[in-house]
Chains A and B, each alone.
Chain A
C-alpha cells in the first residue's frame, strides 16, 4: 500500500506495475484528469494546493481503510499538486485483488473518500483571465452532489 502527494506528472502505467502480482486476477485503475470546462466556463488550467502534511496522512488513512475493508494490500494512490493543464492527470488510484469485485469497490472507496476528506484545493484559471478557488459546497456546484455533502458533515466524527 502506498499513498502520496506528488509534484511530478502521474504515470498511471507505473501504478499498474506497482500493484501487479500473479496472484491477482483483477486490477482496477481510476485516473482523474483536468477538464477544460467547469460550470460552463472555459478552463485553461488548475492550480492544486494542499496542506501537504495532513493530506499525506489523510490519504494514507483512507488507503489503510480500503486495505482493511476490501482485503488487499495491493493499493496505490497518488494526487498531484502544482499547476496542471487540461488533460493532465491530477489523481490516480490502482488496486489489484484476486477478484474484480473488491478491486473495483476499493478503487471507488479511495477516490470518493479522497474527494470528501483530503485537504487539497484547486484554483481554476479561466479563459477570461479570472481565477477562483473551487468551493464544492456552493449551491451551483452542490447540485447533484448530495452524497458528497452528506459525507462532508461526518468529518469531525471520523476524526474520533
Chain B
C-alpha cells in the first residue's frame, strides 16, 4: 500500500516537502514506517524515535497502519 505521510515544521524543512509517499506492506507497523523513512536521504535529520500520529492520535511503535489512514510525523511540539 502507498501511504501519504504528513510532515511539519522542522521535518518538512528537512525533507523539503510537506508530505512523503511511502510504500508499505498492508498492516505494517509504525516502527516499520519509521525504519523506511529513516532510510531516505533526509531521514538522517530525524531523531532515533520520532513521534508518529495515526488518524490524529499519537501512535505507539506497534500500531498497525491501514490503507487510507492519516499518518503524520510529529516534531517535538512547542506550543504555548
Residues of A within 8 A of B (CB): 32, 48-51, 53-55, 57-58, 79, 90-91, 111, 114-123, 133-137, 152, 155-160
Contacts and interface: CB of A to CB of B under 8 A. Distances in A.
Contact of A51 (B6, B10, B59): B6
A153 to B, nearest CB: 10
B60 A156 contact: yes
A133 B10 contact: yes
Nearest to A53: B56
A90 B56 contact: no
Contacts, number: 87
A155 B76 CA distance: 11
Contacts of A137: 47, 76
A55 B77 CA distance: 10
Interface residues of B, number: 23
Given A51-B53, A51-B72, A54-B53, A136 B58 contact: no
B78 A134 contact: yes
A66 to B, nearest CB: 16
Contacts of A155: 51, 58
A115 B9 CA distance: 16
Nearest to A111: B80
A41 B13 CA distance: 22
7 contacts: A51-B8, A55-B79, A114-B79, A121-B8, A135-B78, A156-B61, A159-B58
Interface in B37-80: 47, 51, 53, 56-61, 70, 72, 74-80
